[in-house]
Structure 1
Amino acid sequence: RGHGRSAQVADGHDMDHYADDLAALTAHLDLKNAIHVGHSTGGGEVVHYIARHGESRVAKAAILSAVPPLMVQTPANPGGLPKSVFDDLQKQLAASRTQFYRDLPAGPFYGYNRPGAKPSEAVIQNWWRQGMMGGAKAHYDGIVAFSQTDFTEDLKKINVPVLVMHGDDDQIVPYADSAPLSAKLLKKGTLKTYKGFPHGMPTTHAETINADLLAFFRE
């Protein structure tokens, strides 16, 4: 919905629409016993989809570096990030999307700003390419969707097995207020923590992540 090659629609950039779009796709393809894997905001989408549309087509799910239960700081979520952090992201996006989409992968997204890190120019440029394919309005509104959606009740509703994968050096979705809390709220949640891995660990540590995903699929 406004991201990548999807339609550049003007509205509906919220988690309900993300989940409904996924439901429409799974119904169109008539998927059964599907395993849904979602990274970052996509992890929130998977959680919201299963809770909102049921588990009749779902066998398992995995959420990686994912935003649930809730990213923004509230009285009920004191460990979250202040809203000003996300307001600033929107300001940067509005000021220069091209620069913002360069700085994010070159820095905290893949942990390339850490001492001793070896940035991959190809990975940075590919992230920029994917970002610039999307719509500015969708990306601007999407910051609110991923940061302010509370997935607490969604997580409680899910009965299928869910693998919660997260790096403890995630600079985008801080570890302590995300993965451990999600795993506790899930009925069949399994937490897998990766020491020193960044937010973009499916790219930087693909061999490890893919092997663990495959093992979970085969269980």
Structure 2
Amino acid sequence: MNYIETKNEEKGKKIKLFYEDYGEGQPVILIHGWPLSHRMWEYQVEKIVDAGFRCISYDRRGFGDSDKPWEGYDYDTLASDLNDVITALGLSKVVVVGFSMGGGEVARFIGKYGTANIEKAALISAVPPFMLKTDDNPDGLENEVFEGFKNEIRKDRQGFLAGFGDKFYNFSKNSSKLSKDLKHHHWAIACSASPKATLDCIDSFGLTDFREDLKSFDVPTLVVHGDDDEIVPIDIAGKKSKELIKNSTFEVIEGGPHGLIVTHKDELNEILVRFLKS
């Protein structure tokens, strides 16, 4: 198994991040959503490699096959982990692709480290610019939404994740596009995550303001969002990211739920590969 060690430590011990690395060519880093792992990219990796790119997908700390420390789930630390992946693998001219929570890593990384090693970026169903409702972000979600997530997880994490999966894919509308077995597979991946990481990341993706980070983007950026996303609504996320990122292309997937990586994989893959080759 492939691991890199982060510079950040937990009680004097460095954190190991698991990654998979396939193909040759320009590197594309895929950053998964909450509460999944690199395995969520199953239907994208082959297309990216076959298109002539090197595809690297890694597990965020606390998820998948990476170490599961008690702390370190804020976006500054997560962006530092991404920087360690790029540095450890000696990458340049990278295309960073973030899904949902993973879009926050892309945003904070560029805001904090710049784009010296980044050639393009992509945000898919991503949480930036700012999910929380505040006086200067009146269209955001009430904090009670995120507190409700945490309360339900503390009560019955596995039950919450099953219901979340239904909403993730708008399963009642898209049951012809994915099986119950695939949905159950993703539920099992989510259940394997650290309970502490699952909780802490809710505050990270729900309460972190990425608006200034997005203003730092100076590379071509793809923003993809489904117009039927019930987890990260397009009006508070994709549309506003498009407005804040100077050199961006905005693609709306009609009828796409949050988990369009599966339900609308053919359309998404065509959009993503076209952007990579552009």
TM-score normalized with structure 1 length:
0.96
Which stretch of structure 1 is more off in the superposition, 92-101 or 154-163?
A: 92-101
* CA shift for structure 1 position 113: 3.3
**Partner-residue secondary structure (3-state), 1:63:** strand
Match status 1:211 vs 2:270 = yes
What letter is aligned with 1:4? Answer: G
Q: Is the 8 Å Cα contact of residues 36 and 46 (structure 1) preserved in structure 2?
A: yes
Match status 1:55 vs 2:132 = no
Summarize deviations over 1:113-135 as a string: whole Å, max 9, x none. 33x74352122111111112210
Match status 1:41 vs 2:96 = no
The answer for the alignment partner of 2:248 in structure 1 is 189
If asked which structure has higher relative contact order (CA below 8 Å, sep 6+), I would say: 1
The answer for the alignment partner of 1:159 in structure 2 is 218
Q: Is the 8 Å Cα contact of residues 161 and 188 (structure 1) preserved in structure 2?
A: yes
Q: Is the 8 Å Cα contact of residues 114 and 216 (structure 2) preserved in structure 1?
A: no
Q: Is the 8 Å Cα contact of residues 131 and 206 (structure 2) preserved in structure 1?
A: yes
Summarize deviations over 1:175-196 as a string: whole Å, max 9, x none. 1111111011111111111111
Task: Looking at secondary structure, tell me which structure has more strand per residue.
Answer: 2
- Which aligned pairs between 1:67-106 and structure 2 lie closer than 5 A? 67-105=127-165
Structure 1 gap segments, 5+ residues each: none
Q: Aligned Cα RMSD in Å? A: 1.1
Task: Looking at secondary structure, tell me which structure has more helix per residue.
Answer: 1
Question: How many correspondences in the alignment?
Answer: 217
CA distance in 1, matches of 2:210, 2:172: 30
TM-score normalized with structure 2 length:
0.76
Identity fraction in percent: 37
Structure 2 gap segments, 5+ residues each: 1-60
**Partner-residue secondary structure (3-state), 1:104:** helix
Q: Is the 8 Å Cα contact of residues 101 and 127 (structure 1) preserved in structure 2?
A: no
The answer for the alignment partner of 1:139 in structure 2 is 198
- Which aligned pairs between 1:93-132 and structure 2 lie closer than 5 A? 93-105=153-165, 107-114=166-173, 117-118=175-176, 120-132=179-191
Summarize deviations over 1:135-169 as a string: whole Å, max 9, x none. 00011010000011000000001100110000010
**Partner-residue secondary structure (3-state), 2:235:** helix
What letter is aligned with 2:76? Answer: D
What letter is aligned with 2:275? Answer: F
The answer for the alignment partner of 2:228 in structure 1 is 169
* CA shift for structure 1 position 104: 1.2
The answer for the alignment partner of 1:198 in structure 2 is 257
Q: Is the 8 Å Cα contact of residues 107 and 213 (structure 2) preserved in structure 1?
A: yes
